[in-house]
Structure 1
């Protein structure tokens, strides 16, 4: 599988990562199958969050890793924290927060909980999950220092942060923030739309995120793309969805050309962008995991990339 360097470091990993949000619904046996299929497909990066399945996803992962043929040191394991769960609104894979909390003690306790549930001694990376407007960067810095000094976390990053929020943390911590995990897919292209519609008055000209993609490229930050096959906010997948006939026709055409699935082409479309992105797939279906992973080795032409963009309902000004 195609490899990439995280954050312009020498930390080299697979271009596709496995997100385990939905692992809470699996038996240990099925979770083992998902993990082993991922590794057999070239995926060596695992993404989690302490709130996934209200912690149960990490528990299932920990048991599955122990029962699998996979050695811990062959994986890059990442988790996220900073969201306090609202149990009254949360169910299964859909977990909602009642507040965000980046206090020093909460971040340290969060990592301890993650390590216990996943049955590992350290995380390769830990991300601040969603920006807390009440965060005190000095407390984040103290937490990061303690977590790194104790050997519990090797690298750090953020998720869903705009450039100013990113820099507010970066200027306070000694560690380099290597990652920003953001929603991006063929059907969620705001990060690139506005750049092509500069100084225009249509909906796509609106800069919703402060130039995140350009910022990430300039500062060598790896964008990890979540929901790569989804449209809306967990509204569903666009793959084989009758709502998107033109897009699926184009995806199938390219899938036939390159000998992969539509999921593989959707993966290849993201990876064709020169921004050093990593695709985080969330499926637990072994067949879909393998199909999606194959897309990492497909390099679309520039015209094919644009053709998929057009098939999704976009245009050029």
Structure 2
């Protein structure tokens, strides 16, 4: 498994992350099989959130109860979780009290003393950076959180947090796939007035901003498109894209899901791909994509086949 740096100064982390959003209804054996498949593929990074699954923190509890990791095995992996969405509201809460309480409950659910990464889960329009900084400082000093990041934030929203937060923002988790790529494709159509693709949807140069600031982009929904049935692999709505993917999969002797991953990991920003599948075989197939290095011609062919303008 190829690795990428997490944040401006490392550490090295796998280019593919196992997302745990859909494990709530899985048996102990199924969760263990999924975990073992990820580990066998070189994935030691597991993504959670407080709001995932049926009840608050229930997917985190399912993970810890099914695996019952000892301290030595816990030290071999990285656990990432998120806080800030009040699902029952629905609204967002980046207050000191909410962040600290959510992390404490995540630690209880995960049965661990610390999480490796905490992400603020979507922007809170009422954010007070001093409140976030107070929470981060307390969680770091207590050894409960080792690194901090955000999810779905624009460059200016990150800059606002950084007026008070002293810890590096190591990651920004955003939606990205070859079939849902406005943060990448917008720059290709810059200043092309008649092309909707040229519209700035990410607050302005998010990918370049993260590269400049050493913030690792984590791509969620790497198989989702914007038309058809959601997942673009095998969907007739993406016939041209699937034809190119299938050709590349045959050329590199991998499965189509690996090519979908390879398109993201080929980008020099050093992105992580957050998988949502709970099928062990698909995790292994997808992880293989991190080691496929597409040529420039192949990468751009996928962009064109997805329907984006390459001038």
TM category (shorter chain) comes to over 0.9
- Asked if residue 282 in structure 1 is aligned to residue 284 in structure 2, the reply is no
Q: 1:206 aligns with which of 199, 202, 218?
A: 199
Deviation at 1:192, TM superposition (A): 1.7
Q: 1:90 is matched with which residue?
A: none
Q: 1:32 is matched with which residue?
A: 32
Alpha carbons of 1:26 and 1:101: their partners in 2 closer, same or farther (altered >3 Å)?
same
- Asked if residue 291 in structure 1 is aligned to residue 285 in structure 2, the reply is yes
Deviation at 1:68, TM superposition (A): 9.0
CA contact (8 A) 2:186 2:197 kept: yes
Deviations 1:199-225 (A, max 9, x none): 122201101112111111111110000
Deviation at 1:50, TM superposition (A): 0.4
1:233 and 1:130 map into 2 onto residues whose CA distance is: 23
Moved more, 236-245 or 275-284: 236-245
- Asked if residue 9 in structure 1 is aligned to residue 3 in structure 2, the reply is no
Which residues of 2 match residues 14-163 of structure 1 at below 5 A? 14-53=14-53, 54=55, 55-66=57-68, 71-86=73-88, 98-163=90-155
The SS at the match of 2:22 is: helix
Deviation at 1:123, TM superposition (A): 0.4
The SS at the match of 1:80 is: strand
Moved more, 56-65 or 137-146: 56-65
**Aligned residues between the structures:** 307
Q: 1:89 is matched with which residue?
A: none
TM value normalised by structure 1: 0.94
CA contact (8 A) 1:272 1:299 kept: yes
Runs (5+) with no aligned partner, structure 2: none
Q: 2:267 is matched with which residue?
A: 273
2:140 and 2:6 map into 1 onto residues whose CA distance is: 18
Runs (5+) with no aligned partner, structure 1: 87-96
Alpha carbons of 1:114 and 1:235: their partners in 2 closer, same or farther (altered >3 Å)?
farther
TM value normalised by structure 2: 0.95
Runs ≥4 residues deviating over 6 A: 67-70
CA contact (8 A) 2:228 2:235 kept: no
Deviation at 1:193, TM superposition (A): 1.7
